[in-house]
Amino acid sequence: MSTLPATADLYDAHGEALRVMSPIFRDFGGNKSFAGEVVTLKVFEDNSLVRAALEEPGQGRVLVVDGGGSLRCALVGDNLAELGAKNGWAGIVVYGCIRDSAPIASIAIGVKAVATNPRKSVKKGEGERGVTLRFAEVTIEPGDYLYADVDGVVLAKGKLH
């Protein structure tokens, strides 16, 4: 696999054509750099749709989860991160919390989230998939292309060459 371009280099090359997420995310996954086509989820303290998405073939995509910024429970743990890696997802970005951060650090998937919380989410099957999201001072559309590394997260309308 080719080395991914740094987000800073992408910004230098494409400038304001990129959307830059606010620097509110911490790195948790074994892969610090990741990129892929965006799949969106909007959930609140319920990770049922997160599991359902990660059970599908990822095909190098990135799951972007708008958890409403809730710090009350985790939406991704080591089992879901492992499932995502096994099924070919490039990464997961969570506007909310994850748990099992120590084991997630050794899993070959990118994981960014706001914080950690040991509490599990509820499982009621509630939420939306394939919707436009707005958090971290950007709008995220299904099908956008996301690039992430230790410097941050940028979004483009399509894959950058």
pLDDT digits (tens, 9 = 90+) for 102-159: 999 999 999 999 999 999 999 999 999 999 999 999 999 999 999 999 999 999 999 9
Residue 160, in any domain of the structure:
no
Residue 47, in any domain of the structure:
yes
Residue 161, in any domain of the structure:
no
Please tell me the pTM assigned to this model: 0.97
Give the total number of structural domains in the chain.
1
Residue 131, in any domain of the structure:
yes
What is the spatial distance between Cα 125 and Cα 134, in angstroms, rounded to a whole number?
21
Residue 16, in any domain of the structure:
yes
CATH number for the domain including 43? Answer: 3.50.30.40
Phi, psi of 47 (to 5 degrees): -100, 15
